[in-house]
Amino acid sequence: MAQKTSKVLQQSGVIPYRIIEGKVEILLITTRKRQGWVIPKGGLCKGMSPHESAAKEAWEEAGVLGRVTTEKLGNYKYRKRGNIYRVNLFLLPVEEVLEDWPEATARERKWLEVNQAAELVKENSLKRIIQTSLIMNQ
């Protein structure tokens, strides 16, 4: 019997950050089932570039606005419901934190120092990207 090969589905995501008193903080959000901490991410929106899609996800899932960088930071993969996803990551310097946003009742959000955020996310490649990209930008 032939083994079924999984298609890799493309997504875009952001690492939302701010600088408070000279220290970088990253915003993480909970999954919808509140079973872990993640970054805002989602499928590519038709008619939008990857970084524009990532900005939309940041607004929908985390309630943050800002200008997403157009340069890709890197990517990481994860599995969910039998699918493999590749998330292309972009930085989002947060300019505005909204009180109300589309998924406000479905998720929690938390500002964390870089190392704390890296500890809370599950995927090792995402941990490395968080640590290297934001520490270098301090």
Q: What is the DSSP letter of 68?
A: -
Residue 37 lies in a domain: yes
Task: For 76-127, write each residue's pLDDT tens digit.
Answer: 998 888 889 999 999 999 999 999 999 999 999 999 999 999 999 999 999 9
Whole-number Å distance between alpha carbons of 47 and 3 = 34
Q: Taking the mean position of all CA atoms in its chain, how far away is CA 124? A: 14
Percent of the chain with pLDDT over 90: 80
Q: Which domain holds residue 100?
A: 8-136
CA gap 17, 92 in Å, rounded: 6
21 pLDDT higher than 60 = yes
The reported pTM is 0.89
Domain count, the chain: 1
Whether 63 is covered by a domain: the verdict is: yes
- Cross-strand pairs, 96: 65
- Report the distance separating Cα 78 and Cα 122, nearest Å: 9
CATH of the domain at 64: 3.90.79.10
Residue 116 counted as domain residue: yes
**Cβ-based neighbour number of residue 80 at 10 Å:** 9
Residue 2 within a domain? no
